[in-house]
Amino acid sequence: MRCAQPINASEEDIDKLLQQIGILELVDLRSGEEMMGDLPGSKLLSIAELQRHERCASGQVIPKEPILIPSKTLVRHNVSLLDREVNAGGLGLLYKIILDSAQPEICAVMNLILKALKNARPVLIFCKAGKDRTGLISALILGVAGCSDEEIVADYIKSDSFRKVALAGIENKKELRGLDFSKFEGAPAEAMEEALLYIRSKYGSPSDYLVSIGFGEAVQTEMRLLLR
C-alpha cells in the first residue's frame, strides 16, 4: 500500500491499517528535515518504534543504531531519498532551493551591491564556480536593470563551457552521498530558464521576488538608475 505522510491519521485510519490490514512496517522516505515538521500528536507515528537507516562508507544503507524489536511492534523505517530528489531535479531544483532558503542572504547581497553602486565602487561578485549562486544574483541584478529573460539566460550560459560543479558543500551531507555530479556541471540554458519560470510562477516576477524578500521597489529603482 502507499499513501501520503500519515501524520494526521485518525483513530479509524489507524484501526484499519493496524487491525484490519495488519500493517507492521512503515517505510518513511522523507529527509530528517521533513520529519522535524511532524506534529507532536501524530497518533500513528507516535506509537511506532523508529529505526533510522543511513548510507555508510561502503555505500550500503544500514540501520544507524540497530535495535531489538518485538515481532508484533509497529516499526517506522526512515530511509531518506533526498539524494534521488536532488539528482532528478539537477540545477533547476538547486536554484529553487537557493531562491527559497537563502532569501535573507540574497537581500543582504543586493543591499551590499546597491551600497557599492551608490559609492561608485565597482563590484566583483563570485562564488566557487561563478555560475550557480553568482549566476542567480547576477540574474536578479539584470532583472532590476530591465533585461529580458532571454538576455539573462544569454549571460548565464557564458559559464557553460567551464563544466564546473560547486554545490557549497551540500554534496558532503550524508544523505546526499549518491549525488550525480554530472547533473550539476556547466550552466545549461534550461537551468536558468527553469529558475526564472519558477520565480514568475511563485512570486510574479523577479522584481516581485525581490520585494518579497525585503529589497523593495524604491531601492530597485535606485539600483536601476545607478546601473545605467
Query: For the CA atoms of the chain, what is the radius of gyration?
Result: 23
Residue range 152-177, pLDDT digits in tens: 999 988 876 665 555 544 555 555 55
Categorize the per-residue pLDDT at 81 as very low, low, confident or very high, splitting at 50, 70 and 90. very low
Return the DSSP state at 223: H
Cell matching residue 33: 528535515
- In whole angstroms, what is the distance from residue 30 CA to residue 65 CA? 18
Residue range 5-46, pLDDT digits in tens: 677 678 888 887 778 877 776 667 666 666 776 766 677 777
Tell me how many domains the chain contains.
Answer: 2
Cell matching residue 42: 501524530
Name the nearest CA neighbour of 28 among 55, 5, 54, 56.
5
Q: What is the mean pLDDT of residues 210-228?
A: 96
- In whole angstroms, what is the distance from residue 64 CA to residue 56 CA? 9
Same-domain check for residues 47 and 107: no
What DSSP line would sit under 175-195, residue for residue? GGTT--GGGGSS--HHHHHHH
pTM of the shown model: 0.59
Q: How many CB atoms lie within 10 A of CB 119?
A: 7
Same-domain check for residues 97 and 172: yes
Same-domain check for residues 73 and 92: no
Q: Report if residue 5 sits inside a domain.
A: no
- Bridge partner residues of 154 (DSSP): none
**Domain CATH for 166:** 3.90.190.10
Q: Report if residue 6 sits inside a domain.
A: no
Same-domain check for residues 15 and 75: yes
Name the nearest CA neighbour of 155 among 181, 130, 121.
130
Categorize the per-residue pLDDT at 205 as very low, low, confident or very high, splitting at 50, 70 and 90. very high
- Bridge partner residues of 9 (DSSP): none
